[in-house]
């Protein structure tokens, strides 16, 4: 019963002090709510992030692809695999309700029947009765197409027929000469000019010559839905489709009637055919929830294990990786979120303690009364604790709702509202909030309850004194605990800097709990230390103020100087708020700038387009562009690779996004990488062709008479246009070996072997000359021969211009080709060196009249015999050593310093070069597998890598080093990007814009969540400070009624009294606010190393730089100032409202 009475007493006490305790309740509610927000907010933001992750990921990433590869396909094994997958997929069926099956063979070559006429050859062979091993088995031509056999249970649904019909199952047993019916993809039909009814031979690569099948095209199709799961990873336009039954029967061996088979085979079928049966489990994205994401990962691992153990089936899925990346991101970005929340909680906790202390000061008189009436220490503590418990309990009941409200509200506040569309954030709950609410309840109860302990032991008179004179030093200061805490915070911060924000082993990333506590610990310990320093500062300010004559300044000055401790506590509250606000603003600005810097670093320029030949696209009007060739190389030929960027220096420095801390940008311009490389002989403007006066070293007269044949050779040349494109041209005729002749090389863009190119009036530079045997086919690419060059003339509108002298001067024979100047008579001398028996040597006049005779010097090229795999002997200008600019990591790995010469390995070739300079970072070098980056000239590198031409008279030209990237700097980025990409026939491999990449970074829900929580914390801080300041000022006003009365009695006007009071409070608040801004900025500086962590848990590239937007800080300070001034003025309104008679009565008391 007594307990009920006690409780009644406590409840009455709470009710009686409701005004003051409301502040404590507000603080307690916020502390508990913010603790409850931890799991809710983190889960809610993570849930959105997960949703985004899964929605944005392509099917290929989230689907499961179980593949059973059979080196010799058998239907039984394939069906067993299906059963295994069906059984194991029960584990993942909740997320993967549908399974798509397909069976695809390895590549087969497609052999046309017409050229040569294989059926005719077979018939002739049969008639000749030759032995079977000499059978004319169809052989693939050099230009043979490849295809793969494809089947699926619902094939008909997946195909849209363009011509013909669907294939029927043809039972080999049902006919003497069965022909497999197939449908082919449209691209395959186009390449091979196949029509309905055409027959073609298909043969597996690994099979024997006799193991092939002739198939009949019954239809030409394209996929009904190109994005359908069954086409994943393959190009349906090049497939050969057949029914599942046909696939099963025709991929095995079956008996054949030799009489009905043109090649007299007794066994047919695609034997030894490697095929893969795939089962694609399609993810239903709606089923993925945050709570179940761990289960999903486990289920996938179980599924993988089951199918691998029982069926030897491999699971190809990027989903575990995706989930892992999501997990890493959650940890990496969860850490700052938690740290921010810890900061807010710490601030709210301070507010709570502050309010509890204020409340206790008011209760001191009552405590004295209780002590006097016989209350023991424990009874005093008990009554106060019960009061704290009532408040904590009430707060704990309300807090979960507040927490949910706060989380939901964050969805309506920018920047989160940009993701949620302004609707409340859907609250997810991955973990129970009960432990957090309990912890919050205990924390708030302790914070409020502990304040009574030192008071409960005090005597009656001490308590009475406390009621009229606030406390002096706190226990923290008395025992130097504040200094200890600061040292502890410093140690923790140092440790964190050493260890990093996120730790873990292997691929498991875990959050270091220190990292969450560190900022709060720092802020809190700093605040406590400030509690020691602020009174001194305020005392000094007070002393200065007393020097003023006006009462409004002098009186507050006296007060500040007399007992600055309580003012210090008030200033500290403001300090915490403005400190957190400044920290939040600086953090958000830094994060924003970092997103932009990272986007700029990743995209290089405003726009970066990656596609084959992208470097040769036309730069849109109004933009500046530069082609970039990107490859991998190694400085000093070490095994440690670097990213290599080959650029056009002059344009590159105008386009690249560069930050000062990357180094000296001029090093990447002409100043560092030098002027344009000398490709060879610049042809006169308007050159349309090159006339080459030449003769192949003639057969001797005797050989001609003996009827010996000559190996004909044809001249080829390569020219570089003004964009750095290598154009390959072929002479219009082979070189004659019986007379000097002129061959013409058409240099128009349309005539290029690797063209066509548009001629836009730019210059051409002759880069290489070489020879090739005519015609092509088997044998050496070029026979050992000699060629005499008499003249090379550029054909221009103004007539021919000889460039022969330039060629002799600039070019050298490379890859074994030797060039020397010889007498023009050398060719005719060679002809008559062996004469037919009985013939007479020609006279000098006859020699001069001979078509092989030429006066003066000619160039003789001695061409060694070379096979196709060998490099081409050619005439060209040798490449010169290249300048390289290395980034810090590349320099460290290679141990190279500026000015050093060495060999660089690029694209598998050795390149001579020297280090032109060092920079810290090179944009776009973000590949974590590489160690650093290097930049060099593009034209120079192409000379080294592709300076040697390829054999090309009839075959496909070898690809040469072409820039696959185009970087742009433009005013209207989106328009420029669109116009650039619009020039491509196909989708680019990559199209990056700074704005796009930045948006991709900053729109990640988890990042957005981080910024949102900063703003929520800042808002909460302002509200708490508002409440704290109002409570303090109201209490101070009440406590000092008597003093005000004295001032009024002395003749001060009401407004003057209010003004002195307001000035006093505002000076304190101003000091707190200004110091707080400084502290927030300092905290940000300390926290900066912990921001250097990207989504994947790796260090940020480029590192984030702290951003200080003073205008925004000033604006924030202004808002806080307005709020606080309003609070102070509102609270002091009582001072000016009181009548003189009232205040005089106070004086009398």
Is residue 938 exposed (0-12), middle (13-18) or buried (19+ Cβ within 10 Å)?
A: buried
Instruction: Kindly indicate which of the ranges 372-380, 711-719, 786-794, 883-891 contains the residues binding another protein, using the contact rule CB under 8 A.
Output: 372-380
Of residues 368, 427, 689, 1047, which one binds another protein by CB under 8 A? 368
> Should residue 637 be labelled a site residue for another protein when binding is judged by CB under 8 A?
no
- C-beta contacts of 649-655 below 8 A and 24+ residues apart: 649/673, 649/674, 649/937, 651/624, 651/625, 651/626, 652/626, 652/628, 652/935, 652/967, 654/624, 654/626, 654/969, 655/604, 655/605, 655/606, 655/624, 655/625, 655/626, 655/967, 655/968, 655/969
**Which C-beta is closer to another protein: that of 366 or that of 732?**
366
Residue 429 is classified by DSSP as -
**Nearer CB in complex with another protein: 9/1049:** 9
Compare residues 16 and 533 and give the one whose CB is closer to another protein.
Answer: 16
Which residues, numbered 492-531, are part of the site for another protein (CB under 8 A)?
none
Strand partners, 766: 681, 719
Interaction of residue 546 with another protein, rule CB under 8 A:
no
We find the least distance from the C-beta atom of residue 458 to another protein, in angstroms, to be 11
Of the pair 17, 210, the CB lying nearest another protein is at 17
Of the pair 3, 115, the CB lying nearest another protein is at: 3
Give CA separation, 561 vs 541, 543, 761, 1069, in Å. 8, 6, 85, 15
- List 7, 12, 286, 1085, residue binding another protein (CB under 8 A): 12
For another protein, the closer CB: 338 or 383: 383
**Residue 562 interacting with another protein (CB under 8 A):** no
| DSSP characters over 358-408 | HHHHHHHHHHHHHHHTT--HHHHHHHHHHHHHHHHHHHHHHHHHHHHHHHH
Residues 6 or more apart whose Cβ sits within 8 Å of residue 137: 209, 210, 212, 263
In sequence order, what are the residues at sequence separation of 6 or more whose Cβ sits closer than 8 angstroms to the Cβ of residue 506? none
Q: How far is the CB of 476 from another protein (least distance, A)?
A: 23
Q: Given CA atoms 866, 872, 878, 884 in this order, what sign does their dihedral have? A: negative
Nearer to another protein, 367 or 527 (CB): 367
Residue 841, interface with another protein (CB under 8 A)? no
Q: Of 383 and 447, which has the nearer Cβ to another protein?
A: 383
Residue 163 per-residue DSSP state: E
**HEC assignment per residue over 659-672:** CHHHCCHHHHCHHH
Residues 881, 914 contacting (CB under 8 angstroms): yes
Question: What's the Cα-to-Cα distance from 671 to each of 663, 665, 668, 722, rounded to whole Å?
Answer: 14, 10, 7, 21
Decide: is 465 part of the binding site for another protein (CB under 8 A): no
Which residue in the set 131, 174, 197, 374 belongs to the binding site for another protein (CB under 8 A)?
A: 374
CB of 1 to another protein, least distance (A): 5
Binding of residue 433 to another protein (CB under 8 A): no
Window contacting another protein (CB under 8 A); options: 457-465, 962-970, 998-1006, 1015-1023: 457-465
Task: Kindly give, in sequence order, each residue whose CB lies less than 8 Å from that of residue 307, ignoring residues fewer than 6 positions away.
Answer: 66, 84, 85, 88, 313, 315
Does 13 engage in binding with another protein (CB under 8 A)? yes
Please report how close the Cβ of residue 22 comes to another protein at its closest, in angstroms. 16
Quick note: the x/- pattern for another protein over 162-191, rule CB under 8 A, is ------------------------------
Q: Which CB sits closer to another protein, 13 or 1138?
A: 13
Element spanning 630, H or E: strand 624-635
Round to whole Å and give the CA distance between 802 and 805.
Answer: 7
| 459 makes contact with another protein (CB under 8 A) | yes
Is the CB of residue 817 less than 8 Å from the CB of residue 713? no
Q: C-beta of 372: minimal distance to another protein in Å?
A: 6
- Shortest CB 1149 distance to another protein, Å: 9
Residues in the chain: 1149
Minimum distance, C-beta of residue 561 to another protein, in the bound complex (Å): 17
Stretch that binds another protein, among 5-13, 263-271, 783-791, 899-907 (CB under 8 A): 5-13
Out of 376, 418, 750, 802, the only residue in the binding site for another protein (CB under 8 A) is 376
- Residue from the set 2, 193, 549, 562 that interacts with another protein by CB under 8 A: 2
CB atoms within 10 A of CB 1137: 10
At closest approach, how far in Å is the CB of 375 from another protein? 5
Can residue 869 be called a binding residue for another protein (CB under 8 A)?
A: no
- Which one of residues 207, 379, 700, 808 is an interface residue with another protein (CB under 8 A)? 379
- Helical H runs in 900-1004? 938-946, 973-982, 994-1002
Is 373 near another protein (CB under 8 A)?
yes
> Is residue 757 involved in binding another protein (CB under 8 A)?
no
480: left (phi over 0), alpha (psi -120 to 50) or beta: left
Q: Which helix (H) or strand (E) holds 827?
A: helix 826-831
| 157, 255, 461, 1114: residue in contact with another protein (rule CB under 8 A) | 461
Of the candidate residues 7, 16, 260, 1119, the single one contacting another protein (CB under 8 A): 16
Position 365 contacts another protein (CB under 8 A): yes
Using CB under 8 A as the binding rule, the residues of this chain from 260 to 299 that contact another protein are: none
**Of 90-98, 340-348, 459-467, 929-937, which part binds another protein (CB under 8 A)?**
459-467
CA–centroid distance for 515 within its chain: 25
Instruction: Choose one: 9-17, 516-524, 585-593, 641-649; the region binding another protein (CB under 8 A).
Output: 9-17
- Closest among 27, 24, 567 to 346, alpha carbons compared: 27
Q: Considering the complex, what minimum distance in angstroms separates the CB of residue 15 from another protein?
A: 7
Q: Which is nearer to another protein, 2 or 193 (CB)?
A: 2
Task: Decide: residue 361, CB within 10 A, 0-12 exposed, 13-18 middle, 19+ buried.
Answer: buried
Q: Which is nearer to another protein, 190 or 1145 (CB)?
A: 1145
Q: Is 7 in the site for another protein (CB under 8 A)?
A: no
- Write down the least CB distance from residue 568 to another protein, Å: 21
Indicate whether 377 belongs to the interface with another protein (CB under 8 A): yes
Asked if 960 touches another protein (CB under 8 A), the answer is no
480 contact partners, CB below 8 Å, separation of at least 6: none
- Residue 369 interacts with another protein (CB under 8 A)? yes
**Does 360 interact with another protein (rule: CB under 8 A)?**
no
Q: Which H or E run contains 936?
A: strand 933-937
Contacting residue, 22, 93, 156, 460, with another protein by CB under 8 A: 460
d(CA 203, CA 200): 10
Q: By CB under 8 A, which span of 51-59, 364-372, 965-973, 981-989 interacts with another protein?
A: 364-372
Which of 7, 15, 258, 972 binds another protein (CB under 8 A)? It is 15
Which of these segments, 10-18, 215-223, 498-506, 544-552, binds another protein (CB under 8 A)? Answer: 10-18
CB of 1095 to another protein, least distance (A): 57
Helix or strand holding residue 933 (H, E): strand 933-937
Q: Which residue has the tokens 């929605």?
A: 55
Could you tell me the maximum CA-CA distance found in the chain, to the nearest angstrom?
A: 156
The count of other CB atoms within 10 Å of the CB of residue 1038 is 10
| Phi, psi of 299, rounded to the nearest 5 degrees | -65, -40
Does position 563 bind another protein by CB under 8 A?
A: no
Size of the site for another protein (CB under 8 A): 26
N- to C-terminal Cα distance for the chain? 41
The residues of the shown chain that bind another protein, judged by CB under 8 A, are 1-2, 5-6, 9, 12-13, 15-16, 365-366, 368-377, 379, 459-461, 464
């Amino acid at each position: 019963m007594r307990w009920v009475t006690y409780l009644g007493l406590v409840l009455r006490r709470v009710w009686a002090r409701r005004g003051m305790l409301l502040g404590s309740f507000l603080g307690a509610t916020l502390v508990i709510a913010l603790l409850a927000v931890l799991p809710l907010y983190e889960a809610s933001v993570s849930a959105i992030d997960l949703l985004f992750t899964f929605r944005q990921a392509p099917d290929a990433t989230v689907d499961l692809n179980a593949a059973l590869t059979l080196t010799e396909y058998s239907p039984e094994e394939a069906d067993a695999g299906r059963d295994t997958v069906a059984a194991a997929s029960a584990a993942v069926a909740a997320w993967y309700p549908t399974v798509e099956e397909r069976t695809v063979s390895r590549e087969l070559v497609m052999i046309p029947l017409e050229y040569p006429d294989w059926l005719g050859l077979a018939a002739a062979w049969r008639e000749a009765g030759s032995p079977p091993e000499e059978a004319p088995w169809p052989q693939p031509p050099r230009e043979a197409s490849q295809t793969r056999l494809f089947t699926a249970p619902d094939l008909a649904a997946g195909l849209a027929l363009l011509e013909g019909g669907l294939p029927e199952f043809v039972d080999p047993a049902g006919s003497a000469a069965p022909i497999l019916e197939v449908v082919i993809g449209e691209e395959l039909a186009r390449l091979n000019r196949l029509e309905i009814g055409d027959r073609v031979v298909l043969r597996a690569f690994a099979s024997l010559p006799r193991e092939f099948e002739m198939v009949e095209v019954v239809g030409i199709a394209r996929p009904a839905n190109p994005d359908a799961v069954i086409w994943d990873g393959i190009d349906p336009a090049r497939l050969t489709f057949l029914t599942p039954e046909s696939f099963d029967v025709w991929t095995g061996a079956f008996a054949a009637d030799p009489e009905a088979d043109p090649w007299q085979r007794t066994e047919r079928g695609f034997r030894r055919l490697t095929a893969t049966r795939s089962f694609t489990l399609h993810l239903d994205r709606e089923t993925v929830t945050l709570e179940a994401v761990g289960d999903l990962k486990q289920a996938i691992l179980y599924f993988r294990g089951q199918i691998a153990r029982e069926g030897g089936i491999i699971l190809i899925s990027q989903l575990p990786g995706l989930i892992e990346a999501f997990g890493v991101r959650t940890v990496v970005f969860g850490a700052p979120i938690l740290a921010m929340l810890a900061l807010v909680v710490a601030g709210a906790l301070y507010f709570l303690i502050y309010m509890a202390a204020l409340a206790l000061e008011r209760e001191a008189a009552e405590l004295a009364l209780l002590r006097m009436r016989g209350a023991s220490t424990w009874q005093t503590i008990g009554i106060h604790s019960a009061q704290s418990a009532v408040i904590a309990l009430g707060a704990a009941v309300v807090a979960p709702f507040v927490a949910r409200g706060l989380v939901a509200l964050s969805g309506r506040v920018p920047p989160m509202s940009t993701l949620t569309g302004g609707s409340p954030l859907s609250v997810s709950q991955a973990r129970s909030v009960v432990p957090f609410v309990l912890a919050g309840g205990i924390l708030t109860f302790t914070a409020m309850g502990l304040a009574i302990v030192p008071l409960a032991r005090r005597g009656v008179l001490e308590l009475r004194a406390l009621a009229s004179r606030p406390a002096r030093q706190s226990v923290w200061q008395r025992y130097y605990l504040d200094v200890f805490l600061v040292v502890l915070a410093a140690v923790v911060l140092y440790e964190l800097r050493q260890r990093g924000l996120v730790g873990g082993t292997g691929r498991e990333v875990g959050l270091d709990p220190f990292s969450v506590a560190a900022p709060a610990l720092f802020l809190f310990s700093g605040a406590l230390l400030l509690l020691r320093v602020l009174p001194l500062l305020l005392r000094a300010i007070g002393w200065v103020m007393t020097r003023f004559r006006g009462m409004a300044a002098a009186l507050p000055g006296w007060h500040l100087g007399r007992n600055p401790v309580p003012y210090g506590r008030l200033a500290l509250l403001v300090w915490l708020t403005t400190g957190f606000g400044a920290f939040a603003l600086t953090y958000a600005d830094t994060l924003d700038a970092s997103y932009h810097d990272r986007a700029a670093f990743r995209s290089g320029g405003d726009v970066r387009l990656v596609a084959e030949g992208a470097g040769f696209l036309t730069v849109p009007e109004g933009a500046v562009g530069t082609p970039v060739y990107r490859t991998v190389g190694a400085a000093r030929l070490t095994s440690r690779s670097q990213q290599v960027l080959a650029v056009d220096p002059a344009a590159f420095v105008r386009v690249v996004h560069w930050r000062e801390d990357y180094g000296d940008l001029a090093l990447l311009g002409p100043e560092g990488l030098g002027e344009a490389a000398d490709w060879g002989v610049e042809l006169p403007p308007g050159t349309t062709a090159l006339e080459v006066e030449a003769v192949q070293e003639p057969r001797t007269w005797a050989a001609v008479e003996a009827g010996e044949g000559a190996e004909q050779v044809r001249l080829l040349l390569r020219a570089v246009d003004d964009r750095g494109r290598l154009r390959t041209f072929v002479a219009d005729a082979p070189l004659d070996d019986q007379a000097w002749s002129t061959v013409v090389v058409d240099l128009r863009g349309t005539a290029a072997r690797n063209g066509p190119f548009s001629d836009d009036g730019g210059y051409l530079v002759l880069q290489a000359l070489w020879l090739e045997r005519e015609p092509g086919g088997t044998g050496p690419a070029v026979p050992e021969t000699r060629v005499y060059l008499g003249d090379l003339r550029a054909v221009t509108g103004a007539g021919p211009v000889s460039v022969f002298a330039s060629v002799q001067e600039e070019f050298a024979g490379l890859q074994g080709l030797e060039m020397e100047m010889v007498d023009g008579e050398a060719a005719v001398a060679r002809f008559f060196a062996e004469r037919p028996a009985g013939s007479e040597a020609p006279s000098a006049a006859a020699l001069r009249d001979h078509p092989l005779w030429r006066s003066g010097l000619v160039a003789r090229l001695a061409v060694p015999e070379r096979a196709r795999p060998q490099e081409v002997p050619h005439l060209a200008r040798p490449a010169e050593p290249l300048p390289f600019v290395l980034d810090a990591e590349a320099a460290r790995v290679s141990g190279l310093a500026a000015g050093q010469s060495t060999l660089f390995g690029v694209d598998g070739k050795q390149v001579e070069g020297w280090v032109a300079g060092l920079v810290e970072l090179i944009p776009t070098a973000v590949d974590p597998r590489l160690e650093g980056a290097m930049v060099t000239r593009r034209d120079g590198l192409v000379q080294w890598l592709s300076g040697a031409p390829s054999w090309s008279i009839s075959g496909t030209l070898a690809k040469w080093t072409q820039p696959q990237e185009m970087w742009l700097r433009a005013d209207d980025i989106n328009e420029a990007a669109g116009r650039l990409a619009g020039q491509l026939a196909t989708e680019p491999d990559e199209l990056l814009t700074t704005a796009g990449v930045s948006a991709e970074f900053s729109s990640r829900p988890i990042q957005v969540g981080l910024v949102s929580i900063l703003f929520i914390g800042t808002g909460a801080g302002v509200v708490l400070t508002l409440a704290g300041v109002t409570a303090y000022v109201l209490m101070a006003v009440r406590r000092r009624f008597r003093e005000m009365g004295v001032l009024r009695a002395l003749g001060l006007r009401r407004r003057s009294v209010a003004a002195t009071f307001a000035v006093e409070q505002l000076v304190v608040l101003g000091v707190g606010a200004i110091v707080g801004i400084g502290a927030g900025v300092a905290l940000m500086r300390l926290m900066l190393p912990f921001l250097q962590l990207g989504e994947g848990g790796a260090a940020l590239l480029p590192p984030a730089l702290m951003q200080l937007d003073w205008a925004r800080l000033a604006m924030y300070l202004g808002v806080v100032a307005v709020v606080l001034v309003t609070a102070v003025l509102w609270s002091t309104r009582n001072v000016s409202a009181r009548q003189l008679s009232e205040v005089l009565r106070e004086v009398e008391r």
